Structure 1
Amino acid sequence: MARILLTDDEEAVRGFVQRALEMDGHQVTQAFDGADALDKLAAAPAPYDLLLTDIRMPMMDGIALALAAARDHPETVILLMTGYADQRERAAGLDALIHDVVTKPFSLAQIRTAVADALGSRAERLIA
């Protein structure tokens, strides 16, 4: 199905989300922070279909990552995750660059639905 780069500094969240997305047949690569994700985006032999990233992380946060990814990999859809209202507000100004922001905590069904919706928007964008 889709190639997804999952970025979160919490190992438990990465594992939970990866298992959920692999249930839908997606190929998931993990990154532990924004800098690691940028390295993986640059080294990928083909573009990722989706960048799913937490906003609040050490080193490089998800907002900085989204800005760099949108600039260097415009074909990749960006979906943000956060458990903090102030971080969600920071992301509000990125509407042109990101698909949506998923609020933590989320259920297995919620993250799978959010990813399916984001990937659907990518397909529509490619057809247009």
Structure 2
Amino acid sequence: MSRILIADDEEPLRLLVGRAIGMDGHEVVTAEDGAEALEILTEQEGRFDLLLTDIKMPIMDGIALALAAARDFPDLTILLMTGFADQRERATGLNAIVHDVVTKPFSVADIRTAVADALASRNKA
């Protein structure tokens, strides 16, 4: 299946999303913030199919992470998550590099569907 990197500063959500995506057979790697996620991406030379990141995080937020990831690994599909309307607004200008923005709270079915859609769009490209 696919390799997915999840970046979220909330451990319970990171674990929930990781388990949900893992149910579909994907390999999941997690990071506590954008800086750690970028470090993992760099160490593994971008060998991920999807970056799923929260927007609002300490150290490096998801927007900065998405911009750096798209610059360094242009083939990486990026999916953002947020529970804040103002953060969703910040992401609207990123349509060229971000597949979609998933609004929190979401159900396990919602996140699995969003990931499946993002991965399907990658396979069409």
Is the contact between residue 78 and residue 97 of structure 1 (CA under 8 Å) also seen in structure 2?
yes
Q: Does 1:98 align with 2:73?
A: no
Q: Does 1:43 align with 2:43?
A: yes
Deviation at 1:47, TM superposition (A): 1.4
Q: Does 1:87 align with 2:87?
A: yes
Q: CA RMSD in A?
A: 0.8
Is the contact between residue 46 and residue 76 of structure 2 (CA under 8 Å) also seen in structure 1?
no
| Structure 1 consecutive aligned stretches of length 4 or more whose deviation exceeds 2 Å | none
| 1:66 partner amino acid | A
The separation in 2 between residues aligned to 1:64 and 1:96, in whole angstroms, is 15
| 2:43 partner amino acid | A
Q: Does 1:121 align with 2:118?
A: no
Is the contact between residue 77 and residue 118 of structure 1 (CA under 8 Å) also seen in structure 2?
yes
What SS does the corresponding residue of 1:40 show, helix, strand or coil? helix
Alignment TM-score, normalising by the size of structure 2: 0.98
| 2:26 partner amino acid | H
Is the contact between residue 91 and residue 101 of structure 1 (CA under 8 Å) also seen in structure 2?
yes
| 1:98 partner amino acid | V
Identity over aligned pairs, percent: 67
Alignment TM-score, normalising by the size of structure 1: 0.96
| 2:85 partner amino acid | A
CA gap 1:59/1:46 in 2 versus in 1, 3 angstroms: closer
| 1:57 partner amino acid | M
Is the contact between residue 46 and residue 73 of structure 2 (CA under 8 Å) also seen in structure 1?
no
Worse-superposed segment, 5-14 or 36-45: 36-45
Q: Any unmatched runs of 5+ in structure 2? A: none
The separation in 1 between residues aligned to 2:59 and 2:43, in whole angstroms, is 19
What SS does the corresponding residue of 1:38 show, helix, strand or coil? helix
Is the contact between residue 53 and residue 81 of structure 1 (CA under 8 Å) also seen in structure 2?
yes
Is the contact between residue 47 and residue 75 of structure 1 (CA under 8 Å) also seen in structure 2?
no
Deviation at 1:75, TM superposition (A): 1.1
